Amino acid sequence: MRRMPLGLLRQDAIWPGMAHPLLIGSNIYRGSTYGRLHPLSIPRVPTVLDLSRALGWLPRAQYRTSPMAKPAALARFHTTDYLAALRRAETQQSVAQSVRDRHGLGTLSNPIFAEMYRRPATAVGGGFLAAELVADGGCVFNPGGGTHHGFPDRAAGFCYLNEPVLTILRLLEMGVDRVAYVDIDAHHGDGVEAAFVGSERVRVISVHEARRWPFTGAETETAKGAAVNLPVPRGFNDSEFQMLLHEVILPAVDGFRPQAIFLQCGADAVAEDPLSRLCLSNQSHWSAVAALQGLSSRFIVSGGGGYNPWTVGRLWTGVWGVMNGCDMPDHLPEPARTIQGQLSWTRKARPAPALLTTLADSPRHGPIHDDVRSLAGRMKTRRWS
């Protein structure tokens, strides 16, 4: 057994004096799919639960079942017309063209499928539960959440409901004064940024691939002071991530003095993911978890993007391991290897042997390119109070 090579896992990572971290899941994710050829045809949350249990990291006392959020609670952000259309689409398993045009339902990105309302409503219910669980301090992982592209009246980018926005709104309703939202998904969280334009209580910080859908999140886009956008080039590597993490992200979070931190830990920025051209290892994500969880007494981590079945399960299982201060195994035990070996993908690509037998990627260091260094330099001139 060994520690994370990046050396960022602290001895206090298991929150002494507080309850152990909690993980939120649900059986609704088992067998639920957006469609055979959709990028979200793959199992993700079930793989995390199964791998965590196979590693002995998820005792029953640390697991919570997600409730399904009620329409009235969802209406804190989404319109009642949209929620009615979404529920009706699930029941009827079809939509009229007018609904497709207005609400973005029944499209290639946001198709009709059996649990198209209940599944995202359960993810939001997990976010609400996470907010309640950290009310007096603690940390919670809700891997089914992180759906950051949803808008009040429209589905977008595989996101029918915006779980991060609704979870943050719940934290604010509970009396939390300042929430730092950090998003390391390969795609810019446009729905979250739009929800908090001009807010003095929420700071939105996003690292994402430049010139990739949804084509928002330019460096100059500040949401009237509420957002810090870090668009990065193709090939973005671990060395460059560490520079932005330590020189920009952590100062921007710490300077805000947040009473809660929400980390959207989308798994699509790793080299093997089909929907980005970034080249991170899963250790970059783990280092962000380790570094951020000590900056506030309330810490919520969600999932997000991630479209390679083998990399998503490994990355998010490692997130849970970091939150608990676990040692990372050099090699997966046989039960965990069996779980990885049973995964399948509609794409022709087959996993490298390491994706079946290990949890941690080898670090993917590289040169720090001038545009990343310049981005960090410009951001360091900003005041983070």
Q: Check: CB of residue 260 under 8 Å from CB of residue 171.
A: yes
Q: Check: CB of residue 183 under 8 Å from CB of residue 301.
A: no
149 is catalytic: yes
Compute the distance between CA of residue 277 and CA of residue 219 in angstroms, rounded to an integer: 19
Q: Which of 78, 149, 188, 285 is catalytic?
A: 149
The structure tokens listed for 13 are 């990572």
Helix/strand/coil for 89: helix
What are the distances in angstroms from CA 326 to CA 25, 172, 212? 20, 31, 35
The structure tokens listed for 234 are 């193709």
Write phi, then psi, for 327 (nearest 5 degrees).
-75, 140
Write phi, then psi, for 179 (nearest 5 degrees).
-120, 125
Compute the distance between CA of residue 163 and CA of residue 75 in angstroms, rounded to an integer: 12
Give, in degrees to the nearest 5, the angle at Cα 291 between 285 and 292: 90
> CA 301, 378, 209, 170 torsion: positive or negative?
positive
Compute the distance between CA of residue 265 and CA of residue 262 in angstroms, rounded to an integer: 9
Compute the distance between CA of residue 304 and CA of residue 319 in angstroms, rounded to an integer: 13
Q: For the chain, what percentages of helix, strand and coil (3-state, to nearest 5) are there?
A: 40, 15, 50
DSSP code string of 205-251: EEEEETT-TT----TT--TTTTEEEEEE-TT--HHHHHHHIIIIIHH
Q: Which residues are catalytic?
A: 149
